[in-house]
Amino acid sequence: MELDGRVAVVTGAANGMGRAFARRFAEEGMKVVLADIEDEPLRRAVDELRAEGHDAIGVPTDVMSREAVVHLAGAALEAHGRVHLVVNNAGVEGYLDGPLWEATDRDWRWTMGVNFWGVVHGVQTFLPILLERDEGHVVNTASMTAVARAANMYGVTKHAVLALTETIHGQLQERGARVGISALCPGIIATRLFQGSRNRPAELRNEREPPGAAEGRELRRRMHERLSAGMAPADVATILVRGIRERRLYILTDHEWDERIRARTDDVLNGRNPDLAR
């Protein structure tokens, strides 16, 4: 896929991987539309790219709202008339405060709302635009937890994103479309993923703390430290661009999860219960 001179839309673009993707696309000669729920970091990201001579605009967007994503598409088309590449990247760590049966409806609505429904809204809105001209590519950010065993609500959402992407890939092939789609599965990346609760809407916050709230905060702290030593988002952007050009469905960032992926696959094929010690 040729990138130079084309238009990319990236959600979750004010920080972390999304910001790195927008920068890399701009360096490839693309016009970039950055979307994020955080207004000020979004403005800084756009200003930084513009200061370097890139064509960039920012559109504040809450991907949980289909109307907001439709507005994002409208802004991109108004600015550039076309869209060629869409990266549904916005995500949060979600509920980590105990077993899933103790999660509230608000926990589910927040975690699924961003991680899964945000991707659905992106696909619903942008894929018809790409299909109208029968060109372009969609990237849905999943996770290595989507190809290994899920261990929490975040993993559940990412399995759903992967299944959605695989299904759409098959349906695009069936109709002979020249629009591609990829599932990006990052491993341990130096982002602020585990600080995603900062953007949890007030109406989706629980009225009282769950029993495991303290443990959840400690887990988020430890995981943030672990991610801080992870792969640089710019390196993920390089891997992503290569995967897009090769029109790969599965784009994995590394091989550190290979044994966990094999273990899950072997368990499924052999009808064997998972050994959580592995």
CA distance 249 to 94: 25
CB 104 within 8 A of CB 156: no
Residues with active-site annotation:
154
Sequence letter at residue 209: E
CA atoms within 13 A on the CB side of 25: 28
- Separation of first and last alpha carbons in the chain: 40
The size of the chain, in residues, is: 278
